[in-house]
């Protein structure tokens, strides 16, 4: 880098030319958050009974911690709505074998979705899922599945 600078001085002095330089920088967070191993979780609703009038629910958790130069960090979680969503946050599971394909809608919430926590301290994230009776009562018998990627920033 120093050598380039020296060459530059020489060239500009001779040509008496000017150049416009766009200057940009991004200040990175002083923090860096990671999911603790294994960084995976299973949200299993188990057996859902079509005769039930109550939502089917499931819960699981992930653990994360933040490190870096700052004493505390503010993390933020987002999810990709899974593989079969019809729109953002309109998650669906897909029937294992039905043809044509059949889907069952469910909701996914992350708690807390964002928080400011001390660095190097475990933070448990609760992942809650729910299937409304209207979505499972007339669904075909059988297994349904989806896969959701949760992204942690910074």
Nearer to another protein, 82 or 117 (CB): 82
Nearer to another protein, 34 or 121 (CB): 34
54 binds another protein (CB under 8 A): no
Considering the complex, what minimum distance in angstroms separates the CB of residue 52 from another protein? 9
Considering the complex, what minimum distance in angstroms separates the CB of residue 98 from another protein? 8
Q: Are 75 and 144 in contact (CB under 8 A)?
A: no
What is residue 52's three-state secondary structure? coil
88 binds another protein (CB under 8 A): no
Considering the complex, what minimum distance in angstroms separates the CB of residue 118 from another protein? 18
Alpha carbons 68 and 13: distance in angstroms, whole number: 44
Alpha carbons 29 and 39: distance in angstroms, whole number: 22
Residues in Cβ contact with 111 at an 8 Å cutoff, skipping those fewer than 6 apart: 125, 126, 127, 128
Alpha carbons 56 and 110: distance in angstroms, whole number: 17
Residue pointed to by tokens 């005769």: 51
73 binds another protein (CB under 8 A): no
Alpha-carbon radius of gyration of the chain: 25
Alpha carbons 79 and 153: distance in angstroms, whole number: 11
Q: Are 41 and 60 in contact (CB under 8 A)?
A: yes
14 binds another protein (CB under 8 A): no
99 binds another protein (CB under 8 A): no
104 binds another protein (CB under 8 A): yes
13 binds another protein (CB under 8 A): yes
Which residues lie near another protein (CB under 8 A)? 1, 4-5, 8-9, 12-13, 18-19, 21-26, 28-29, 32-35, 39-51, 56, 58, 60, 62, 64, 79, 82, 91, 93, 98, 104, 106, 108, 127, 129, 131, 136-154
């Amino acid at each position: 880098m120093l050598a380039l600078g020296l060459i530059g001085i020489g060239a500009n002095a001779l040509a008496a030319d000017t150049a416009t330089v766009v200057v940009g920088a991004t200040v990175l967070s002083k923090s860096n958050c990671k999911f603790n191993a294994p960084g995976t979780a299973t949200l299993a609703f188990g057996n859902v009974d079509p005769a039930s009038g109550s939502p089917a629910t499931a819960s699981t958790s992930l653990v994360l911690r933040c490190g870096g130069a700052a004493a505390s960090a503010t993390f933020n979680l987002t999810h990709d709505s899974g593989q079969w969503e019809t729109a953002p946050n309109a998650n669906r599971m897909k029937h294992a074998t039905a043809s044509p394909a059949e889907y069952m809608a469910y909701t996914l919430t992350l708690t807390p979705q964002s928080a400011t926590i001390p660095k190097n301290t475990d933070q448990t994230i609760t992942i809650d899922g729910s299937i409304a009776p209207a979505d499972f009562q007339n669904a075909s018998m059988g297994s349904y599945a989806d896969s959701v990627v949760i992204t942690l920033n910074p």
